[in-house]
A and B are shown apart, each in its own frame.
Chain A
Amino acid sequence: MRVLVAMSGGVDSSTVAGLLAEAGHDVIGVTLQLYDHGAVVGRKGACCAGQDIHDARRVADHLGIPHYVIDAEARFRSAVMASFADSYANGETPVPCVRCNQTVKFTDLIQLSRDLGCDRMATGHYVQRIDGPQGAELHRAVDPGRDQSWFLFATTRAQLEQSLFPLGAMPDKLHVRDEAARLGLPVAAKPDSQDICFVPSGSYADQVGKLRPDALMPGEIVTADGAVVGQHGGIARYTVGQAKRLGTATQDGGTRRVVLALDPAQRRVVVGPATGGTRHLRLREVNWLAGPARLRCRVKLRARETPHDAEIVPTGTGAGVILDEAALPAPGQACVFYDGERVMGGGFIERPAMPG
């Protein structure tokens, strides 16, 4: 079959391209140029493409497959970076990778794969597509340490039908690197990518500030009853549930305070004991991969955490979530529903109404 492989230039998607080509498929490599690399690293004369696009092209050369670079800069800016900054300015902690998967990759690239007459689009994500009685299902990767299903909850059923995830069944990353080495791929020993791709310096606040300066305006750190316990340099620097950058405001006698809420209207960071939390969440933009139906399941509120037992209640395009035990979910993050290994759906966590 003809398969479009989304190649990032990393070892994972390169291995996917290599394995599919080796299996005799008609493989077309495509790499998205998401942003001007030279501008992001701030080095004059740096190529707009960066090393990853170069690497993807060299892998395609090695495999003898056609390879194309797609200009997705404008789309990435409007669909991912702008909403990333807006989300922070609204007192949330966004997940840009989910937005990128949802728009640039699984909407636009899948459309391209159809336009080019491809039977499937393959990516290097660590998730499994398993064909069930009602069609394609999304399951966690075999390697729990690598599982990326949380980041792909927004993939629609139609998109899932068109997708292939050959790495989901790999026992571990070492195995992938071994395959890359066996295929002679020039990226076999390339280090894994870190952080958010368009923030190579690790300072996401600078990126947010460029688009939404209001998210970096200073304000007060207060307790739930309004007592001022510190000052902050912008709500975008804080995440609900974390103590990072609270300084002395973390100390309340013997108890340790964390961020309980972010109030964009008053530019306040609300802190309190980590023992607090909520059992009730509201989700927006819910994507159902089974159902929608009232559901007893386990949910993950962050990319890396132990799942919580919960009940899901569909409400129009959103859903309510009732956790068995209180937690401190960060608005803007995803809440993904799992039935065992299978992803049943998920949505984005809404910011609760500010008390008072």
Chain B
Amino acid sequence: MIYLDANATEIIRPEARAAVLAALDLTGNPSSVHTAGRAARRVLEDARETLAARFGAAPADVVFTSGGTEADALAVHGLGRGRRLLIGATEHDAVRAAATGADVLPVDRHGVADLAALARWLQGGPALVCLMQANNETGVLHPIADAAALCRGAGAWLHVDAAQTAGRMPVRLDDLGAHSLALSGHKLGGPQGAGALLLAADAAAALAPLIVGGGQERGRRGGTPALPAIAGFAAAVRVGGDLAHLAALRDAAEQAAMSVGAVVLGGGAPRLPNTTCLALPGVPAQTQVIALDLAGVQVSAGAACSSGKVARSHVLDAMGAGALAGQAIRVSLPWNATAQDVAGFALAYQTMAARLSRSAA
């Protein structure tokens, strides 16, 4: 089996696995006053400091959540009250579903946000803008620092979903100049079940919580933190950070696919090193995903609904991909991808393309 769906969930880092197991044995609740509680609290605060240092926020302004979706929802609801909302056209459903009634910032045919349109939209009173750093389907990067400068200049807030960039390239909230940053532990080699919202000082002072509960996370997110998941998250952050070396493997996979007729979507923009979006003209994306899975290669297409059906991609539609929007798969290399993985993918893809072009003829 070849796993090339890291943007859905990364292969766990061994260090993260070890940290999860160690934390499972701690027993204590970080809120408890006794020895076990203190031991748990230490792991939690170590993790918080790890994230703060790596991603450019004060430790006090790192809010652990259940994952990226909750971090996005907390930002949209907690910072968006009383503000106009604008979201990028290619945002993840975590943002799209939370930001009901938001205006939509268009992208160009490469999938890059239109900053001129952003500047125009900003001239209209207090606002919250949500822009992902890298798109989950294409890997295309938005110019976040430029967008943040525009937002700050207009007195607007900028929330950045960094679920796909964190752990894969250097990401710092302070350097970007944004107001909040959503992270997902399992997208960077930690376990599922932990994420975080990092806040700049001005946003931190204004955040309204979604869940109050027992007042954990300085009253910003009630509920006992998922300590093993958070410990694994932090361990993965410590060992990861830059996957630039995957670009060569990704390019090889692209070349192999293009040699049998595939079209790369978003290839004209700066991208994540591990991601490519490959359209095979005339062949439904779901057929490609199934055919590759049956050949032992695991990739995805569009955004998988909880039913598992492959829905048409709103991302590729926003890029004006036309019919290709329903004919594209996403290949996203995990942190430990090898040349053998890419060779296996190339063989399976070329076999599939040969068979499906034959049956289409």
Contacts and interface: CB of A to CB of B under 8 A. Distances in A.
Contact of B307 (A69, A115, A116): A69
B310 A116 contact: no
Given A115-B287, A115-B355, A28 B307 contact: no
A117 interface: yes
A119 to B, nearest CB: 14
B309 A71 contact: yes
Interface residues of B, number: 19
A66 interface: yes
Contacts of A116: 287, 290-291, 294
Contact of B311 (A47, A71, A114, A115): A71
A57 interface: yes
Contacts of B287: 112, 115-116
Contacts of B283: 115
Q: Which of A48, A49, A57, A68 has the most CB of B within 10 A?
A: A68
B124 interface: no
B307 A49 contact: yes
B359 A57 contact: no
Interface residues of A, number: 18
Contacts of A47: 306-307
A69 B308 contact: yes
Contacts of A117: 294, 355
A68 B290 CA distance: 7
Contacts of B290: 28, 68, 112, 116
B308 to A, nearest CB: 4
A115 B356 contact: yes
Contacts of A28: 290, 294
B359 A68 contact: no
Q: Which of B305, B307, B312 has the most CB of A within 10 A?
A: B307
Contact of B310 (A66, A71, A111): A71
Contact of A68 (B286, B311, B355): B286
A48 B303 CA distance: 14
Interface in A237-269: none
Given A71-B311, A115-B287, A48 B305 contact: yes
A53 interface: yes
Interface in B289-344: 289-291, 293-294, 305-312
Q: Which of A47, A57, A66, A116 has the most CB of B within 10 A?
A: A116
A70 B308 CA distance: 8
Given A48-B307, A116-B291, A71 B286 contact: yes
B286 A49 contact: no
Contacts of B294: 28, 66, 116-117
A118 to B, nearest CB: 10
A114 B310 CA distance: 19
A15 interface: no
Contact of B309 (A49, A111, A114, A115): A49
Contact of B305 (A49, A57, A68, A111): A49
Contacts of B312: 71
A104 to B, nearest CB: 14
A342 B321 CA distance: 49
B293 A114 contact: no
B293 A57 contact: no
A28 B355 CA distance: 18
A148 interface: no
A47 B309 CA distance: 12
A33 interface: yes
B259 to A, nearest CB: 21
A30 to B, nearest CB: 8
A53 B307 CA distance: 7
A162 to B, nearest CB: 12
Nearest to A57: B308
A66 B293 contact: yes
A63 to B, nearest CB: 16
A115 B286 contact: no
A117 B311 CA distance: 23
Interface in B201-217: none
Contacts of B356: 115
B33 to A, nearest CB: 40
A114 B307 contact: no
Interface in A69-121: 69-71, 111-112, 114-117
Nearest to B293: A66
A70 B359 contact: no
A112 B356 CA distance: 10
A16 B292 CA distance: 25
Nearest to A49: B307
A146 B334 CA distance: 51
A255 B286 CA distance: 58
Nearest to B312: A71
B225 to A, nearest CB: 27
B306 A115 contact: no
A24 B290 CA distance: 21
B165 to A, nearest CB: 29
B359 A114 contact: yes
Contacts of B309: 33, 49, 69-71
A71 to B, nearest CB: 4
Q: Which of B287, B290, B356 has the most CB of A within 10 A?
A: B290
A53 B305 CA distance: 12
A139 B283 CA distance: 34
A53 B309 CA distance: 10
A233 to B, nearest CB: 36
7 contacts: A28-B294, A53-B308, A57-B308, A69-B309, A111-B359, A116-B290, A116-B294
Interface of A: 28, 33, 47-49, 53, 57, 66, 68-71, 111-112, 114-117
Interface of B: 283, 286-287, 289-291, 293-294, 305-312, 355-356, 359
Given A70-B309, A116-B291, 16 more contacts: A47-B306, A47-B307, A53-B308, A68-B289, A68-B293, A68-B308, A69-B308, A70-B286, A71-B309, A71-B312, A112-B287, A112-B290, A115-B287, A115-B359, A116-B287, A116-B290
In the A-B complex, the 7 residue pairs with the smallest Cβ-Cβ separation, listed nearest first, are A49-B307, A69-B309, A71-B309, A69-B308, A33-B309, A68-B290, A115-B287
